[in-house]
Amino acid sequence: MRRAALRLCALSKGLFPAGRGLTQGPQDPRRQGLFHIQEACSPIHVNHVRDTLREIVGASTNWRDHVRAMEERKLLHSFLAKSQEGLPPRRMKDSYIEVLLPLGSEPELREKYLTVQNTVRFGRILEDLDSLGVLICYMHTKNHATKMSPLSIVTALVDKIDMCKKSLSPEQDIKFSGHVSWVGKTSMEVKMQMFQLHGDEFCPVLDATFVMVARDSDNKGPAFVNPLIPESPEEEELFRQGELNKGRRIALSSTSLLKVAPSAQERTTIHEMFLSTLDPKTISFQSRVLPPGAVWMETTKLKSLEVCHPQERNIFNRIFGGFLMRKAYELGWATACSFGCSRPFVVAVDDIMFQKPVDVGSLLFLSSQVCFTQNNYIQVRVHSEVASLLSKEHTTTNVFHFTFMSEKDVPLVFPKTYGDSMLYLDGQRHFSSMSVPVTLRKDCLADP
């Protein structure tokens, strides 16, 4: 690992008060992360993050050498812990990292993040968050006995991304910060924040929670990770929140509409919507008409296809999760834009489960649909599936959930089939899970 590339900050004690949302308004730029940072600390340049990750796992930058590199990683099996008790505990500040995205001082880099509306591409931010989350976990699990890490750390879930009221200008520097906030046996929760420079102060933009999992050297089975020891009441609260988040995810999984029937209230909602679409001129359940100003859900779909080239591979020679998120987000944004007939802005991202890795060379099929609306909010679901070039069998890899806000009120969407009704209820659940409905100025949000 290049020491020059990985200039991690030395940290002093203490945390800011825990909370799911970000504090509004400017903060002291020396205290804008979760920890109190020494003034002399220098953040890592965003371009160094993935380079550093390659060095940590010994990944090759040459596609033709990827097989040899992965074979060499198998030799690291002997460094894997037989139990979690055999690993030294870590503190939250051990994994704390800051990363700088210097949009203001590097015009060439700015082009990569620029939208036609002269704002920042949120899809690119998702890529950066994914890479940062992995690097944070490698800092938590750093093994001083070997140059390369014996662990393969991958993103399992994007639990939540909540946006703030602060603008995303392509001409001002952005700073990311984050650390491990909770640890299980083989999984880690990572809290990340993003700030943008306004004048001489860094102001909060978003708050993100990712869940990462550790696997063995050749990414075939689970591997133990270092335990985490909170050092203050604030850290204990963060750790407790991580436990609650785990319990909430288990509870939500058990009540999934793919497993159990809707609640009584949800069944009533769907039946009332069904009755409102019956043609009053006929006595038939088959004759359906839309209420004024409403749209059938099935007419809101957009689809896309991506060929997964080696350029988009991650450090383990699978397709980079951040790339999948960016492509899904951009299709979701286009769906919301086409449906609302105005420019949409992202408000929240939640519950992105990485169910299956995507191999290089796969065909990636993305299907996006509006599944719930309320006033000027649009809930969009993007379904991702892959097929090999030689097989027609499709396998689901991800389901993405995005909440957008339009510049004006949008039509109500109505399900026509039972399947669409379940999508509607699922979208309603995700929309209701937002911390609070937010009101964001149209000049203060992110585009694709």
Predicted confidence (pLDDT) per residue in 167-179, tens digit: 588 999 999 999 9
What local confidence, expressed as pLDDT, does residue 389 receive? 77
Residue 381: partners with Cβ closer than 8 Å, 6 or more residues away? 368, 369, 371, 399, 400, 401, 423, 426, 427
Residue range 39-232, CATH number:
3.10.129.10
Q: What is the pTM of this model?
A: 0.83
Same fold, 39-232 and 292-435: yes
User: What would the CATH number be for the domain defined by 292-435?
Assistant: 3.10.129.10
CA distances from 179 to 38, 84, 276, 315, 327 (A): 16, 20, 50, 21, 26
Instruction: Please report which confidence band the pLDDT of residue 81 belongs to, taking 50, 70 and 90 as the band edges.
Output: confident
What whole-number distance in Å separates Cα of residue 403 and Cα of residue 350? 9
| pLDDT per residue as tens digits for the range 407-435 | 889 999 999 999 999 999 999 999 988 75
Whether residue 125 has pLDDT greater than 70: yes
Q: Looking at residues 259-273, what average pLDDT do you find?
A: 92
- Nearest CA to 46 out of 173, 154, 187 is that of 173
pLDDT tens for 198-233 read 888 888 999 999 999 999 887 788 999 999 999 999
- In Å, the largest CA–CA distance within the chain is 78
Rounded (10°) angle between helices 264-276 and 418-432: 120
Average pLDDT over residues 398-404: 93
pLDDT, position 21: 31
**How does residue 448 score in pLDDT terms, banded at 50, 70 and 90?**
low
Residue 395 and residue 386 in contact, taking contact as beta carbons nearer than 8 Å: yes
Q: Which residues pair with 302 in a beta bridge?
A: 368
Task: Indicate whether 286 pLDDT > 80.
Answer: no
Of 35-39, 181-185, 219-223, which range is least confident? 35-39
The residue with greater pLDDT, 113 or 1, is: 113
Q: Which residues, in sequence order, are bridge partners of residue 35?
A: 15
Lowest mean pLDDT among 115-124, 321-330, 376-385, 386-395: 386-395
Q: What is the pLDDT of residue 266?
A: 93
Hey, where are the domains in the chain? 39-232, 292-435
pLDDT of residue 133: 94
The sign of the dihedral angle between the CA atoms of 101, 104, 105, 111 is positive
What integer best gives the mean pLDDT of the chain?
83
